[in-house]
Amino acid sequence: MRLMIVFEPKEYVKYSDIDKYDVQGFIYSLLKNSSLFNNLHDIVGFKFFNFSNIFPISDFEKNTLKKLIISSPNPDFIRSLYDELNKISTFRLNKYKMEILKIKVLRNKKSSKFISSTPIVLFEDNENNRYYSFKQNPNFDFFFNRLKDNAIKKYNAFYDDDFELESDLFSGFELVREVSVRVKKDGNSFIIIGSLWKNLEFELTNQNKDFYNFLFDNGLGEKNSLGFGFLNSGK
């Protein structure tokens, strides 16, 4: 399930001045009065939500529209955000004021192809906090096997299930490029390495449709609740 927020900046802001942690913090602030999700920030483990880049990707200017999509496989999560957003007319990203113009719940479109609109991130070594890089280790089997294991683990955790996917995660794929994203937290900045993809193809069946619908709303790879691995339907 997805929610789109259309908003207008009240002042000029450089695009780079609003960070993924600013968007994540905004989402958590909306949930602080929710009886279901007010402690989500403190839960150790999967958070089961994701968000897009703010688009269009350009500096924030007065009298121009910006959009943000938040997704989750949990409809109650989206409904909680929707209810809280309807109580306010403005919000802040970092310290910058934004005016809400429209809130809309989006229906998922059935598709057998994904596009990653934000980088898909995987750890190559969790203990040493080392991200997988195709520039360092161009191994597609390693990447997609790790991605499949991660996806199934999250799906089974969310549904308390023991689902197994017999096929490959994707029957076709096209790597667009590897990217490095600088994020800032508590005055410190660090780099997260990920990759962008298109034509992530799969065959939808009655047995796997819930699984791929989950991936669409939850995202692929690590750090989904920080806005990585956000998916759109491919054409």
What CATH number does residue 10 fall under?
A: 3.30.70.1890
Whether 122 and 101 map to the same domain: the answer is: no
Write out the DSSP string of 40-90.
GGG-SS----EEPPPBS-S-B-TT--EEEEEE-S-HHHHHHHHHHHTT-SE
Whether 142 and 216 map to the same domain: the answer is: yes
Reported confidence tier of residue 113, pLDDT bands at 50, 70, 90: very high
Whether 102 and 123 map to the same domain: the answer is: no
Residue tagged active-site, from 41, 96, 131, 155 = 41
Whether 94 and 129 map to the same domain: the answer is: no
pLDDT above 90: percentage of residues in the chain: 87
Whether 200 and 95 map to the same domain: the answer is: no
Whether 87 and 160 map to the same domain: the answer is: no
Of 53, 82, 106, the position where a domain reaches its end is 106
Residue tagged active-site, from 21, 28, 82, 96 = 28
Per-residue pLDDT reduced to its tens digit, 40-98: 999 889 999 999 999 999 999 999 999 999 999 999 999 999 999 999 999 999 999 99
Surface-to-core class of residue 211, CB atoms within 10 Å of its CB (0-12 exposed, 13-18 middle, 19+ buried): buried
Per-residue pLDDT reduced to its tens digit, 173-190: 999 999 999 998 887 888
Of 106, 140, 159, the position where a domain reaches its end is 106
Is the pLDDT confidence value at 1 over 90?
Answer: yes
Whether 190 and 140 map to the same domain: the answer is: yes
Say what the pLDDT of residue 235 is.
73
Whether 73 and 165 map to the same domain: the answer is: no
Reported confidence tier of residue 140, pLDDT bands at 50, 70, 90: very high
Is 28 labeled as catalytic in the residue annotation?
A: yes
Whether 227 and 120 map to the same domain: the answer is: yes
Contact call for residues 187 and 193 (beta carbons, < 8 A): no
Q: What is the mean pLDDT of residues 128-154?
A: 94
What are the φ/ψ torsions at residue 22 (nearest 5 degrees)? -65, -40
Whether 122 and 228 map to the same domain: the answer is: yes
Q: For the ranges 10-14, 71-75, 128-132, which has the lowest average pLDDT?
A: 128-132
Whether 90 and 160 map to the same domain: the answer is: no
Kindly give, in sequence order, each residue whose CB lies less than 8 Å from that of residue 123, ignoring residues fewer than 6 positions away.
Answer: 129, 130, 131, 132, 222
Of 82, 106, 130, the position where a domain reaches its end is 106
Is 96 labeled as catalytic in the residue annotation?
A: no
Say what the pLDDT of residue 185 is.
82
Domain that holds residue 195: 113-233
Q: How many domains does the chain have?
A: 2
CATH number of the domain that 213 lies in? 3.30.70.1900
Whether 179 and 96 map to the same domain: the answer is: no
